[in-house]
Structure 1
Amino acid sequence: MSFISLFLGAILVAFVFYFFSYFRSKIRNGQQDNTSLPPGNLGWPLLGETLEFLRTARNGMPGKFITDRMQKHSTHVFKTSLLGKPTAVFCGPEGNKFLFSNENKVVVTWWPTPIQNLFPSSIMASTGHDTKRMRKVFAAFFKPDSLQRCVGTMDAVTKLYLQSEWEGKGEVKVFPMVKYYTFSLACSLFTGIEDPEYISKLSTDFNILLKGIISFPLNFPGTRYNHAIRAANRLRKEFQVLIEQRRVDLSERSSSSSPKHDLLWCMLTTTDENGQLMTEKEVLDNILGMLMGGHDTTSCALTFLMKYLAELPHVYDEIFKEQMEILTTKEPNELLTWEDIHKMKHSWAAANEAMRLAPPVQGNFRKALSDFTYAGFHIPKGWTLYWSVNSTHMNPDYFQEPEKFNKSRFEGNGAAPYTFIPFGGGPRMCPGKEYAHLEILVFLHNVVKKFKWETVFPNEKFIVDPLPTPAEGLPILLHPH
């Protein structure tokens, strides 16, 4: 039997399995009684409305799937089927608040199959007690005292990066350049890896891994999911060697030597309330997950912030003024401090507005732990639940003229609760939020004080696959001060 015949046969078996699973779940969850369920459309068997969900994102309209159905069905909650699961999409600040505040009570975090399989024991896929234990480990690195030690290192690395990669060039592509910069910084601060050639090698596999985390879990040669599995296996082998060496260093370290207080060190030395260390599998899954999340989202935020500052000279001028005021208080070559970061209020407001307009993460999933009622509709146990930034970020009820860049929305009292959620919310809020805050502002300080810039393609299209990406990489023309 040929390989093609085997391949097609496997697809047919998988389709039949999911087809019957789909209808079995319809009967079990009482979907024949559509009057009690949220309004909406479950779409095709197996596929549901997944293709439309992904298509609108890849066409640069990630909010269209959500807003169209909010207008057609309900502004509170509607049903659909995504990634093979019947799904209730919760909308507006009330929906966000409900999901964020009921973690491990009514709902629990759920991740698509690729993420569950690629990072099975990471903080992303963990729930309940495991989540609390993992978060204690990450708190040791991401707490303010630890991050304060990173400011000077970030500033020094950023200066050298811009000097070697940007200075003397008339044009650069922002997205790939910033993506490599944030990955290099994450490698250095999270794991102590600083060799540029080795970082470049790791970066290739991380890019493959990212493409596969939101995909159909078909593990056949040539599929994104298969490529992601193979990339994850290669990365695990690389980091297993690093972890083994770090354990040896920890066991042989004399009391007078200084340990590397990076994220990997925290993972290897921090115990839970029972005195247990993370297992090697947990360390591997979490270091891969944090390296991926610790650079991809911030690279998107920085890219779109650069885009808006190029398009809006008056906003750039205000940011430039703020950063120059900070610079006048410092000696030549003096590095930034934690106190300097907290002076960058206008800069952070601009960064927030960029993340509102182009959020790095479009939303996330939960799962119903039991039957419950929301907004007068029945939500069955086992259904997946989805919150989306687009139900509030681009909603004129919460942000007047939402398509316009207006950083004043985040000055003063800022946005209303549960309307601005680029980092999620509740106990599952992104543990690296403050790290991202720090990284964005350190980069912005250094790039603004050196350059002004303009975009090569003012109306450049962007796609979401799975994160927002400019179609041409956002090439810009640099104008040094």
Structure 2
Amino acid sequence: MRIITDRRKEMTERSETEGRDLLSKMLLVRDENGQFLSEMEISNNIIGLLVASFETTSSAVTAVMNYLAELPHVYNEVLKEQMEIAKSKGPDELLTWEDIEKMKYSWNVARESLRLTPPAQGAFRETTTEFNYAGFTIPKGWKTFWTVHSSHKNPKYFPEPEKFDPSRFEGSGPAPYTFVPFGGGPRMCPGKEYARLEVLVFMHNVVTRFKLEKAIPNEKIVFYASPIPVHGLPVHLHPHQK
């Protein structure tokens, strides 16, 4: 809020009419009534963007690294796939979209990580009308909390739900709307493909250089807005022999 207040004052003094960054642009936006957004509205929007773009991907990458360090057989399969891609590149050649599309097993590993440790745990829902369900009357305005684990860990859709098994995503994969770390339908997360790109590029660059070993084997995961290892997931990085 202090940063927003200072920036608004600075822009007013300079008579700025073009935003030089996201905050400046939001300070110049007017609503349908021609009014500027309040500082609280701007703050809420920026925090929402930070959580959606940074915290979720950071949490997803952390979960993937955790499982790669814990499960050598999974790590070895990811390493095999990623080294095949690395060998096809020149010394200074960067990854291309075609390379990302080849990372099928790696993405299955990432998706299984997202199933077991989703960055977004759920959301509050509010009924807009009164309705009956299973003999009960649900009043209008009733608030409930929906959790992603209601389907992610449902044995009906994912047999042995606590087992880490990337093969669940082979072929046609899980039934529609049972795997929902990015939501689903018309309101699916618009950053899904960008998140996939970030996670896979991170996996490629770590796995092709290092083998991972957890510094704290039984480190616990705590849940705030996102699942977070208690000690931040310290790992030993062992460089591959050239």
TM band (smaller chain):
0.7 to 0.9
Matched, 1:467 2:235: no
- 25, 32, 52: which is aligned to 1:293? 52
Shift of 1:453: 0.9
Q: 1:365 maps to which residue?
A: 124
State how 1:95-244 maps to structure 2 within 5 Å.
233-237=1-5
Shift of 1:241: 7.7
Alpha-carbon distance in structure 2 between the residues aligned to 1:454 and 1:347: 19
Contact 2:119 2:226 in 1 (8 A): yes
Shift of 1:430: 2.5
Contact 1:368 1:382 in 2 (8 A): yes
Q: 2:80 maps to which residue?
A: 321
Equivalent AA in structure 2 for residue 236 of structure 1 = I
Q: Compared with structure 1, are the counterparts of its residues 386 and 326 closer, same or farther at alpha carbon in structure 2 (3 Å cutoff)?
A: same
Equivalent AA in structure 1 for residue 55 of structure 2 = D
Contact 2:124 2:144 in 1 (8 A): yes
- 416, 422, 425: which is aligned to 2:184? 425
Matched, 1:380 2:148: no
Contact 1:372 1:378 in 2 (8 A): yes
Q: Compared with structure 1, are the counterparts of its residues 376 and 348 closer, same or farther at alpha carbon in structure 2 (3 Å cutoff)?
A: farther
Alpha-carbon distance in structure 1 between the residues aligned to 2:7 and 2:58: 23
Q: 1:405 maps to which residue?
A: 164
Alpha-carbon distance in structure 2 between the residues aligned to 1:366 and 1:353: 26
Shift of 1:288: 2.8
Gaps spanning 5+ residues in structure 2: where? none
Q: SS where residue 392 of structure 1 aligns?
A: helix
Equivalent AA in structure 2 for residue 408 of structure 1 = S
Q: SS where residue 132 of structure 2 aligns?
A: strand
Identity, in percent, stands at 56
Q: 1:455 maps to which residue?
A: 214
Contact 2:18 2:25 in 1 (8 A): no
Alpha-carbon distance in structure 2 between the residues aligned to 1:241 and 1:394: 50
Gaps spanning 5+ residues in structure 1: where? 1-232, 252-259
Equivalent AA in structure 2 for residue 234 of structure 1 = R
State how 1:17-56 maps to structure 2 within 5 Å.
none
Q: SS where residue 62 of structure 2 aligns?
A: helix
Shift of 1:328: 2.4
Shift of 1:383: 0.5
| Aligned alpha-carbon RMSD (Å) | 3.2
Q: SS where residue 463 of structure 1 aligns?
A: strand
Q: 2:151 maps to which residue?
A: 392
Shift of 1:266: 8.9
Shift of 1:242: 9.4
Q: 1:356 maps to which residue?
A: 115
Alpha-carbon distance in structure 1 between the residues aligned to 2:214 and 2:79: 18
Alpha-carbon distance in structure 2 between the residues aligned to 1:396 and 1:307: 23
Alpha-carbon distance in structure 1 between the residues aligned to 2:29 and 2:177: 32
- 168, 189, 194: which is aligned to 1:435? 194
Alpha-carbon distance in structure 1 between the residues aligned to 2:156 and 2:168: 13
Q: Which digits, 9 at most, give the CA deviation of each residue in 1:372-424, with x for residues without a partner?
A: 12344321001113321121111211111111110111121111111111122
Contact 1:239 1:284 in 2 (8 A): no
Contact 2:114 2:181 in 1 (8 A): yes
- 64, 67, 74: which is aligned to 1:308? 67
Alpha-carbon distance in structure 2 between the residues aligned to 1:324 and 1:434: 23
Alpha-carbon distance in structure 2 between the residues aligned to 1:277 and 1:452: 56
Shift of 1:264: 7.0
Shift of 1:432: 2.3
Contact 1:367 1:384 in 2 (8 A): yes
Q: Which digits, 9 at most, give the CA deviation of each residue in 1:66-95, with x for residues without a partner?
A: xxxxxxxxxxxxxxxxxxxxxxxxxxxxxx
Q: SS where residue 182 of structure 2 aligns?
A: coil
Contact 2:7 2:24 in 1 (8 A): no
> Which protein has the bigger helix share?
1
Contact 1:240 1:284 in 2 (8 A): no
Alpha-carbon distance in structure 2 between the residues aligned to 1:386 and 1:438: 30
Equivalent AA in structure 1 for residue 77 of structure 2 = E
Alpha-carbon distance in structure 2 between the residues aligned to 1:309 and 1:467: 19
Contact 1:267 1:278 in 2 (8 A): no
Q: Compared with structure 1, are the counterparts of its residues 418 and 357 closer, same or farther at alpha carbon in structure 2 (3 Å cutoff)?
A: same
Q: Compared with structure 1, are the counterparts of its residues 266 and 392 closer, same or farther at alpha carbon in structure 2 (3 Å cutoff)?
A: farther
Q: SS where residue 125 of structure 2 aligns?
A: strand
Q: Compared with structure 1, are the counterparts of its residues 244 and 352 closer, same or farther at alpha carbon in structure 2 (3 Å cutoff)?
A: farther
Matched residue count: 237
Q: SS where residue 292 of structure 1 aligns?
A: helix
Flag the structure with larger Rg: 1
Alpha-carbon distance in structure 2 between the residues aligned to 1:242 and 1:452: 49
Contact 1:395 1:402 in 2 (8 A): yes
Alpha-carbon distance in structure 2 between the residues aligned to 1:432 and 1:266: 21
